Amino acid sequence: MKNPFKLFTFLFLVTVSSCDTTGKIDYKFAESPEIIACDLPNNALYNEAIHSFENDLLNTYDNKSKSGQKAYFSFINFTMRGGLKVEDIASAHSLKIAHLLKEDNTLWTTINGKTSLNYSHPLIDCLTKNIKTNSLKQTINALLTTNSMRPNLVLAPLSNSTKGIQGDGSLKGYVAFDFFYSKLLDSKLEDLKNPNPEPIEAAKTDVKTGLNPAKKTTIPTDKVMEKDPHAGHNH
């Protein structure tokens, strides 16, 4: 049973940090299909983050044919080889999203000055439990269960599943947060190679994503990020 005082302190800190949130963003992908399979307080921002990430990948790695498979393969391949620089991919829009995501300190964990994804967060729990690629889903969840999750341990099996990423919303969400946004948190606008890429029409990929194109994210143009009072920390 959790210590009542510690629980109260955690909820108090989350509430206070929520009151200090002032970041706003224009939702460019509000009409795109919803990806997050769970009902979370910040779904609008999470969906925006994933669509913006994919848009950046397509513009960087396959601007002509807009093939999601080719774009994800290139992204994973460069990541495995250690040659990935997220600033060469990210748009100004994705950078704004990263800075807004950073304000939720329950989504990240910092150890020895290094910030990484908090795998105990409800968002990550939702994404990893709804991955469609069974072999990869089993691998990731086994690592999470044994508290052995590390991005580098997922890269090899992930590289063998690039064909399925385009049709697996939860998998592309996991990739976006663990391999892209976690590296973009402290970047600056002047660091970006292509801050204003061309938008990619979502309709070109809807058929392959396995998402529900009829279910859209409806939100105001500017929305303040909400904090999830139930979000946990990594253990």
The domain ranges of the chain are: 42-214
pLDDT of residue 93: 97
**Cβ-count burial of 29 within 10 angstroms (0-12 exposed, 13-18 middle, 19+ buried)?**
buried
8 A C-beta contact, residue 184 and residue 94: yes
Model confidence at 201, pLDDT cuts 50, 70, 90, reads low
Q: Which of 25, 83, 88, 89 is CA-nearest to residue 54?
A: 89
Q: What is the mean pLDDT of residues 191-200?
A: 81
> Does residue 102 have a pLDDT over 90?
yes
What is the 8-class DSSP label of residue 108?
Answer: E
Longest C-alpha distance within the chain, in Å?
Answer: 57
List the single range of 57-66, 140-149, 213-222 with lowest mean pLDDT: 213-222
Residue ranges of alpha helices (H) inside 43-133 are 43-61, 68-80, 92-102, 122-129
> Does residue 203 have a pLDDT over 80?
no
**Cβ-count burial of 93 within 10 angstroms (0-12 exposed, 13-18 middle, 19+ buried)?**
buried
Query: pTM of the entire structure?
Result: 0.76
What is the 8-class DSSP label of residue 196?
Answer: S
Tokens of residue 178, six digits? 């663990």
